[in-house]
Structure 1
Amino acid sequence: MTPSISLGDIRIPDLFRDLPDAVIVADENQRISWVNPALQDMFGYSLEELAGQTTKNLYADHQNYEEQRNGRFSLTASQRGHTYDMRYRRKNGKAFLSQTTGGPIRDKDDFILGYFAIIKDISKTRAFEDLLHSLFHISSDQDKDATQKIQEIMKLGCEHFQTDSGLVSWVHDGIYTILYSYSDLVDIPRGTTFPLGETYCSEMLSGNGPLACHSARHSKFAAHPCYDLFLLETYIGVPLIVDGKLFGTLNFTSPDERHPFEDGDLEVIKMFAAWIGQQLSFEKATNQLPQPGQPAPT
């Protein structure tokens, strides 16, 4: 049971227990007195593990801890500048970026009773912002042609989804034809074809929307012909629309499992597909894309 902590007339649990952001409170000696449930979930520690300890092990860089201990969380702390970005480390060792608001807790006579910090995990938000910036930079680069842009976008997708390979396909008359590929494992020539039914993309297209699997052996994909042929554990794919019509697919794969995809990943791959679809539209306008009835590209 979480103890009731008081600093003067302030009852900390009553103020911060139900906030969605992580909250940590330390006494005047900078020892942790209380954390809310959100902080325990964010960092993976219980209050019992943290109580009486300093916050040093919560920082990704211990030098940052020393700087904060002698700055914002000191007896000489100023009244301003209490919101800042900081990298912390969870109990499992994974670092993340946060926006932190923190500083001293003072009584009416300006005497420091202790210290507090409110921590918001902004790692996903910042990563998404960086991703948008990278996509815009690639697509607006006048020194690159459409092929180079698509290759760089697929490389960016592999990095984001933690996969080894990315493919852009043209799907027509039940045939899956590779137009573009990016892979750390194997070179897949343009024009390589497969029966659509032997690809995970057949399942994705039948659902008419993005589809993701982080462990094929533990999913319906375990019985799919694609798993027998290529032993791909990780897949995330989406229909590729060019000029308002279904053209093919965009997918990223890996022979290794990864941690489960999140709902946001399905939105991100749709964004990747929209940017690649735009580049393919440029190619279509200059007759560089295959049309129904044409032979597969080489």
Structure 2
Amino acid sequence: MQRFEMIQTLLGQMLGQIDDIILLADDQRHITYLNDSAVKAFGYPREALIGKQTRMLYASSDEFERQGQRRFRVDAPPEKEGRVIRYRRQDGTYFYGETLGGPIKDPTSDNIFMFGLIRDVSRRVTAEHTLHSLHAITSSRELNFNARIDELLKLGCAHFGLPIGIFSRIKGGDYVVQRACHPEDLLEPGLSFSLSDTYCDHVYKADSVQAFHHVANSEIRNHPCYANFNLQAYIGAPVIVDGERYGTFNFSSPDPVPPFTAQDIELVRLIALWAGHEVARANDINALKAAHQALEKIAITDPLTGLYNRRHAQQVLDDSIAALATAEVDHPLCVALLDFDHFKKINDNHGHDAGDLALQHLSVLAEEILLPGDTLARWGGEEFLAILPDSLLSDSATRINLLRQRMKDSVVEYAGQRLPLSLSIGMTCLEPDDSATREQLIARADEAMYAAKEEGRNCLRML
């Protein structure tokens, strides 16, 4: 027994200054020795652990039993690889320790004691868990861009132990909050600061990850951000979009934290890298949407006047007729055909450019006079179709007649000469009990328009 105690004493002297946790126990796993690192890691006074079974140090009794069956038994074979085990501190918090150990037998006696070496790998394990969460967030099909950013901010705040997380956009000297995580929700999107008043100024100057775990004791203790906001800890990375700096992804706290690890630096870099890819992807998607919308607009627009073309007018008219038939509107559907008077003479006397100018002027007047729900389309050549849904005949006629009068009164000059402009207009209405088709409705408006021409032009006739 004296030899057993002597061996423990010698081991204790050799292992007392090692940073890793060292525990010695008897064959029943009652603690007989622990070094200073173990006292610090578990948070117990040394005397509170001596003689106690190591069960109290495990996060779960099941794990204690598993390790007893696997390695901490008198006949256990030696193991060369460590196992990550979750341990519990006196204050109820947990840490992960990579654990090596097993039985050690005195070759000159039957005394056996258990030896355990534990290396705190909490940050490594937490980083691995965080990377798994990062992958889950960034690959989720259920989250849109802003929701992903918000989840990443929460993830970073939890991993780094920093309560404030910000995804910023930097424009010139302005630092603009895009998304933020704040315990008191004090950082709204759009909130702007001077870049030089933020720690992100260092990120932009260095163009790399910057981290300060205790600003008051660092080289940036005189920074305006510390003076104005008293932020003691910060870690941030630049966000790069298509090769250009876009902003930053950063986390901070009013309290100092333990020094950041290489894994922390890599993690915030990865988050910022992903954010840059997502911004670029969102920009590409928006550009594609804009291009698609532009193509759709081109497909339904007359290139000369900017008004809708015949194909779109037909669709609008079909939809308006259907709405009237299903009682979705309260008033009749009015349709008018507008035709320029003596348009061939304008082209012959002044040139086709003058004729184009006359057609374009109609679109300018229509924008001023017609209602947002009205549609004016180029039907063909110098002929235009107006669709006025859910409108009383008298109101529709007033608007269309005003358009005719304004055209007559317009002073449109080409090459120093005023162009003679007037319109002959035929109008008809479709009542809810009228079963006329699109073609029949157009034919009625066309008949009314030719009646206007026969009566001297520059007038409105209804049928």
* Equivalent residue letter for 1:263: T
- Aligned equivalent of 2:268: 269
- Alpha-carbon distance in structure 2 between the residues aligned to 1:220 and 1:207: 15
Question: How big is the shift at 1:157?
Answer: 0.8
1:210 is aligned to 2:234: no
* Equivalent residue letter for 1:26: A
- Aligned equivalent of 2:198: 199
- Aligned equivalent of 2:184: 185
Q: Deviations over 1:179-218 (max 9, x none)?
A: 2222222253333322222222113322332222334445
Is the contact made by 1:198 and 1:226 (CA closer than 8 Å) also made in structure 2?
yes
For structure 2, the residue ranges without an aligned partner over 5 or more in a row are: 288-463
Percent identical across equivalent pairs? 32
* Equivalent residue letter for 2:260: E
- Alpha-carbon distance in structure 2 between the residues aligned to 1:62 and 1:212: 39
- Aligned equivalent of 1:142: 141
Question: How big is the shift at 1:33?
Answer: 4.4
Q: Deviations over 1:159-185 (max 9, x none)?
A: 112222211222222122222222222
Is the contact made by 2:145 and 2:278 (CA closer than 8 Å) also made in structure 1?
yes
* Equivalent residue letter for 1:147: N
Is the contact made by 2:31 and 2:53 (CA closer than 8 Å) also made in structure 1?
yes
Aligned length: 281
- Alpha-carbon distance in structure 1 between the residues aligned to 2:112 and 2:153: 53
- Alpha-carbon distance in structure 1 between the residues aligned to 2:43 and 2:163: 30
- Aligned equivalent of 2:331: none
- Alpha-carbon distance in structure 2 between the residues aligned to 1:227 and 1:23: 40
**1:27-46, aligned counterparts within 5 Å?**
27-28=26-27, 30-35=29-34
- Aligned equivalent of 1:294: none
TM-score (norm 2): 0.50
* Equivalent residue letter for 1:262: F
- Aligned equivalent of 2:127: 128
Bigger CA drift: 129-138 or 273-282? 273-282
- Alpha-carbon distance in structure 1 between the residues aligned to 2:213 and 2:106: 52
- Aligned equivalent of 1:293: none
The 3 A distance-change label for structure 1 pair 183 and 113 is same
Greater fraction strand: 1
The 3 A distance-change label for structure 1 pair 228 and 85 is closer
- Alpha-carbon distance in structure 2 between the residues aligned to 1:227 and 1:172: 22
SS of 1:124 mapped into structure 2: helix
Is the contact made by 2:99 and 2:119 (CA closer than 8 Å) also made in structure 1?
yes
Is the contact made by 2:175 and 2:194 (CA closer than 8 Å) also made in structure 1?
yes
Question: How big is the shift at 1:64?
Answer: 5.4
Question: How big is the shift at 1:134?
Answer: 0.5
The 3 A distance-change label for structure 1 pair 57 and 5 is farther
The 3 A distance-change label for structure 1 pair 222 and 56 is same
- Alpha-carbon distance in structure 2 between the residues aligned to 1:242 and 1:223: 31
Is the contact made by 1:59 and 1:87 (CA closer than 8 Å) also made in structure 2?
yes
Bigger CA drift: 17-26 or 269-278? 17-26
Q: Deviations over 1:71-112 (max 9, x none)?
A: 85456x655889654322457775311232343334679966
Q: Deviations over 1:228-272 (max 9, x none)?
A: 443333322221111222111111123x30323323222221121
TM-score (norm 1): 0.74
* Equivalent residue letter for 1:168: F
SS of 1:258 mapped into structure 2: coil
- Alpha-carbon distance in structure 2 between the residues aligned to 1:21 and 1:207: 35
SS of 1:6 mapped into structure 2: helix
For structure 1, the residue ranges without an aligned partner over 5 or more in a row are: 289-298
Is the contact made by 2:195 and 2:201 (CA closer than 8 Å) also made in structure 1?
yes
* Equivalent residue letter for 1:234: A
1:257 is aligned to 2:258: no
The 3 A distance-change label for structure 1 pair 118 and 222 is closer
Is the contact made by 1:4 and 1:13 (CA closer than 8 Å) also made in structure 2?
no
CA RMSD of aligned residues (A): 3.9
Is the contact made by 1:4 and 1:12 (CA closer than 8 Å) also made in structure 2?
no
- Aligned equivalent of 1:247: 246
Question: How big is the shift at 1:24?
Answer: 2.7
The 3 A distance-change label for structure 1 pair 177 and 29 is closer
The 3 A distance-change label for structure 1 pair 34 and 162 is closer
Bigger CA drift: 103-112 or 212-221? 103-112
Is the contact made by 1:5 and 1:34 (CA closer than 8 Å) also made in structure 2?
no
Bigger CA drift: 181-190 or 107-116? 107-116
1:119 is aligned to 2:105: no
- Alpha-carbon distance in structure 1 between the residues aligned to 2:206 and 2:142: 38
- Alpha-carbon distance in structure 2 between the residues aligned to 1:284 and 1:44: 51
SS of 2:149 mapped into structure 1: helix
- Aligned equivalent of 2:355: none
* Equivalent residue letter for 2:198: T
Q: Look at both structures and tell me which one has the larger radius of gyration over its CA atoms.
A: 2
Q: Deviations over 1:99-139 (max 9, x none)?
A: 32343334679966222223233322211111111011111
SS of 2:141 mapped into structure 1: coil
The 3 A distance-change label for structure 1 pair 4 and 273 is farther
- Alpha-carbon distance in structure 1 between the residues aligned to 2:218 and 2:17: 37
- Alpha-carbon distance in structure 1 between the residues aligned to 2:219 and 2:163: 22
- Aligned equivalent of 1:6: 7
- Aligned equivalent of 2:85: 86
Greater fraction helix: 2
- Alpha-carbon distance in structure 2 between the residues aligned to 1:207 and 1:114: 54
* Equivalent residue letter for 1:267: E
